[in-house]
Amino acid sequence: MKLIYKKSLMVELVKLGHDLEYTARNRNNPQYQVYFSPHSKAFDQDIAMLTGNEYIDDERAVE
């Protein structure tokens, strides 16, 4: 699972076709939610694209 702390980023990832598994309250700041999504290379690539960063292949990501 990959944890996303920014709602607008998770909304854009869902628009790109990624699944939102569930949400939970942030333990450190209960007024915020944490978004859980399956971890994959495509997910990491889309996060990099949406945040304006370069994707660097990481063997920890699942196909």
Rounded CA gap, 18 and 27, in Å? 24
- In angstroms, how far is the first alpha carbon of the chain from the final one? 13
Q: Tell me: the pLDDT tens digits for 31-55?
A: 999 999 999 999 999 999 999 999 9
What pTM was estimated for this model as a whole? Answer: 0.85
Half-sphere exposure of 41 (CA within 13 A, CB side): 7
Rounded CA gap, 42 and 34, in Å? 20
- DSSP structure class, residue 28: S
Rounded CA gap, 26 and 49, in Å? 25
